[in-house]
């Protein structure tokens, strides 16, 4: 872990809140001038603390009106089976996140779809034919109460 001071943490907090801030705006929030702020940001990028900046889109305004959580149990858990499954799910653009779990299910995936018909087609055409799937269980998300990637700095 990189040795971060309070100024670094103020920079990171500002960037987490709004990834579109300019270096000048971040420097003002952090209470330092632009040059040292820029230097610190570059150092944290080079050290891998800051991985990337991204834009969050409003899925509904773009026609994606449903979010589905799908849990998957695999038939086998050897390296080859896991890698084959992971390779296939990475190629499905509707899958926004997929995590390998310990517990009752092997994978937990979050999918964004236009509507339930879109999900049904996706499930029938792609998801059930994924390599090694033994069982699949899905739930439609009614409301997102909290969704963040921000760390509690």
* CATH 3.30.70.920 residue window(s) in the chain: 60-140
Greatest C-alpha distance within the chain? 57
* CATH 1.10.10.10 residue window(s) in the chain: 6-46
At residue 70, the pLDDT reads 98
At residue 2, the pLDDT reads 74
Class of CATH domain 6-46: mainly alpha
Residue range 60-140, CATH number: 3.30.70.920
Exposure letters 77-111 (e unless 16+ CB within 10 A, then b):
eeeeebeebeebbeeeebbeebeeeeeebbbebbb
Q: Give the mean pLDDT per block of 10 residues along the chain (153 residues).
A: 90 94 97 97 96 91 98 96 96 98 97 98 95 96 93 94
pTM given for the model: 0.85
Cα-to-chain-centroid distance, residue 68: 15
Q: What is the DSSP string of 126-144?
A: IITTSTTEEEEEEEE----
At residue 1, the pLDDT reads 60
CA distance 69 to 116: 12
Burial of 70 (0-12, 13-18, 19+ CB in 10 A): buried
């Amino acid at each position: 872990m990189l040795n971060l001071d309070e100024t670094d943490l103020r920079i990171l907090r500002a960037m987490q809140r709004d990834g579109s801030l300019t270096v000048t705006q971040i420097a003002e929030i952090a209470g330092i001038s632009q040059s040292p702020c820029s230097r610190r940001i570059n150092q944290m990028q080079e050290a891998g603390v800051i991985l990337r900046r991204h834009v969050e889109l409003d899925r509904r305004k773009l026609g994606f009106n449903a979010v589905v959580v799908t849990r998957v149990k695999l038939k086998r858990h050897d390296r080859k089976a896991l890698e084959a499954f992971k390779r296939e799910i990475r190629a499905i653009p509707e899958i926004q996140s997929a995590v390998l779990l310990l517990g009752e299910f092997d994978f937990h995936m979050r999918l964004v779809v236009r509507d339930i018909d879109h999900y049904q087609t996706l499930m029938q055409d792609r998801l059930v034919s994924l390599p090694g799937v033994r069982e699949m269980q899905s739930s439609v998300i009614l409301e997102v109460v909290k969704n963040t990637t921000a760390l509690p700095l």
